[in-house]
Amino acid sequence: MSIIGACMVPHPPIILPEIGRGEEKKIAETTASYEKAADLVAALKPDTLVIASPHTRMYADWFYIGGGSEGYGSFSQFRAGHVRIHAGYDTEMIRALSDAAGREDFPAGPVEDPDIPLDHGVMIPLYFIQKKYSDFKIVRIGISGLPLTDHYRLGMMIRDCAEQLGRRVFFVASGDLSHKLKKDGPYGFIEEGPVYDTRIMDVMGSGDFKKLFAFDSAFCEKAAECGHRSFVMMAGAFDRTAVDIQRLSHQDVFGVGYGICLYRAASPDPDRNFLDQWAAEESARLARRKAKEDPYVQLARLSVETYIRRGRPLTLREAKRQLDLPDEMLNTAAGAFVSLHKEDQLRGCIGTISACCSCIAEEIIQNGVSACSRDYRFHKVAVSELPLLEYSVDILGEAEDIAGPDQLDVKRYGVIVSCGRKRGLLLPDLEGVDTVEEQIRIASAKAGISEEYDRNIRLQRFEVIRHT
How confident is the prediction for the chain on average, in pLDDT?
A: 95
pLDDT above 80: residue 443: yes
pLDDT above 90: residue 111: no
- Residue 436 pLDDT class (50, 70, 90 cuts): very high
pLDDT above 80: residue 453: no
Residue spans in the chain of domains classed CATH 3.30.700.20: 293-467
pLDDT above 90: residue 33: yes
Q: In whole angstroms, what is the distance from residue 37 CA to residue 130 CA? A: 11
Q: In whole angstroms, what is the distance from residue 381 CA to residue 371 CA? A: 9
In the chain, pLDDT over 90 holds for what percent of residues?
90
Closest residue by Cα to residue 6 from 134, 112, 110, 158 = 158
Instruction: Name the strand (E) or helix (H) holding 445.
Output: helix 436-447
pLDDT above 60: residue 23: yes
Q: Which of the pair, 176 or 431, is modelled with greater confidence?
A: 176
Q: What pLDDT, on the 0 to 100 scale, is given for residue 115?
A: 66
Q: Is 132 exposed, middle or buried (0-12, 13-18, 19+ CB in 10 A)?
A: middle
pLDDT above 70: residue 455: no
Mind listing the pLDDT tens digit for each residue in 316-349?
999 999 999 999 999 999 999 999 999 989 999 9
Q: What is the mean pLDDT of residues 238-252?
A: 98
- Residue 452 pLDDT class (50, 70, 90 cuts): low
Q: What pLDDT, on the 0 to 100 scale, is given for residue 449?
A: 87
Q: What pLDDT, on the 0 to 100 scale, is given for residue 464?
A: 96
Please, which residues have CB within 8 angstroms of residue 101's CB and are 6 or more apart in sequence?
63, 107, 108, 109, 157
Residue spans in the chain of domains classed CATH 3.40.830.10: 3-277
Closest residue by Cα to residue 138 from 73, 74, 71, 83 = 71
CATH topology of domain 293-467: Glycoprotein, Type 4 Pilin (3.30.700)
- Residue 195 pLDDT class (50, 70, 90 cuts): very high
Q: Is 294 exposed, middle or buried (0-12, 13-18, 19+ CB in 10 A)?
A: exposed
- Using only the alpha carbons of the chain, give its radius of gyration: 25
Q: In whole angstroms, what is the distance from residue 81 CA to residue 344 CA? A: 41
Q: Which of the pair, 269 or 446, is modelled with greater confidence?
A: 269
Mind listing the pLDDT tens digit for each residue in 402-421?
989 999 999 999 999 998 88
Mind listing the pLDDT tens digit for each residue in 114-156?
568 999 999 999 999 999 999 999 999 999 999 999 999 999 9
> How does DSSP assign 278-339, residue by residue?
HHHHHHHHHHHHHHT--HHHHHHHHHHHHHHHHSSPPPHHHHHHHS---HHHHH----EEEE
Pairing, β 108-111 against β 63-66: parallel
Q: What pLDDT, on the 0 to 100 scale, is given for residue 257?
A: 98
Name the CATH superfamily housing domain 3-277. Answer: LigB-like (3.40.830.10)
Mind listing the pLDDT tens digit for each residue in 249-286?
999 999 999 999 999 999 999 999 999 999 999 999 99
pLDDT above 80: residue 226: yes
Query: Using an 8 Å Cβ cutoff, are 426 and 331 in contact?
Result: no
Q: In whole angstroms, what is the distance from residue 394 CA to residue 343 CA? A: 20
Closest residue by Cα to residue 207 from 158, 156, 272 = 272
- Residue 431 pLDDT class (50, 70, 90 cuts): confident
Q: In whole angstroms, what is the distance from residue 144 CA to residue 317 CA? A: 42
Instruction: Name the strand (E) or helix (H) holding 28.
Output: helix 28-44
Pairing, β 63-66 against β 70-75: unpaired
Query: Using an 8 Å Cβ cutoff, are 71 and 27 in contact?
Result: no
pTM for the predicted model, two decimal places: 0.91
C-alpha separations of 34 from 77, 97, 244, 455 in Å: 22, 28, 18, 52
Q: In whole angstroms, what is the distance from residue 237 CA to residue 153 CA? A: 8
E-only strand ranges, 3-107: 3-9, 48-53, 63-66, 70-75, 80-88
Q: What pLDDT, on the 0 to 100 scale, is given for residue 457?
A: 86
Q: In whole angstroms, what is the distance from residue 76 CA to residue 125 CA? A: 17
Taking the C-alpha atoms of 26, 255, 231 and 104 in order, what is their torsion angle to the nearest 10 degrees? -130
* Helix, strand, coil fractions of the chain, as percent rounded to 5: 45, 25, 30
Mind listing the pLDDT tens digit for each residue in 339-392?
999 998 999 999 999 999 999 999 999 999 999 999 998 999 999 999 999 999
Q: What pLDDT, on the 0 to 100 scale, is given for residue 263?
A: 98
Q: In whole angstroms, what is the distance from residue 224 CA to residue 221 CA? A: 5
Query: Using an 8 Å Cβ cutoff, are 172 and 6 in contact?
Result: yes
Q: What pLDDT, on the 0 to 100 scale, is given for residue 259?
A: 98
